[in-house]
Amino acid sequence: MTRLLTLPIRLTLFTCWFAGQVLRSSWAVLADILTPGMAGTPRVVRMPLESRTDLHTALIGVLITLTPGTLTLGVVAHDQDGQALLVHSMYHRDAESALADLHDMERRMLLAVSLGDTP
């Protein structure tokens, strides 16, 4: 019951956080366009998901794609009953930092939208 009552607050906080991430990423893309040379370090990473529902999987895929400098390429099988996203990232220095940022976004999204006891 408490999770349902706090849903509007959690969604608002997540939306504000995500808007900040979009602005920060937009700035990185703009700076790369306006300066000589290329700051991008493109890579594709496989991101194992904590999300267990198709709705959560689709939502994190959309959020990743909406963030400038990242693109969800597809969903693939991972382990026995899990899924993973293939994500193209332009501005992470290595795969570990890309996965850390992506998992942070997924964790925040799950906390914002989940109604059960555990996200």
Q: What one-character-per-residue DSSP string does 3-26 give? A: HHHTHHHHHHHHHHHHHHHHHHHH
- Indicate the average pLDDT of the chain: 92
Cβ atoms of 14 and 108 within 8 Å: the answer is yes
Position 117 pLDDT exceeds 70: no
Q: Find, among 73, 94, 70, the residue nearest to 84 by Cα.
A: 73
76 CB-side CA count, 13 A: 12
* Lowest mean pLDDT, pick from 4-8, 65-69, 102-106: 4-8
CATH of domain 2-113: 3.30.70
Position 118 pLDDT exceeds 60: no
- Reported pTM: 0.89
- What percent of the chain clears pLDDT 70, i.e. is strictly above it? 97
- What percent of the chain clears pLDDT 90, i.e. is strictly above it? 76
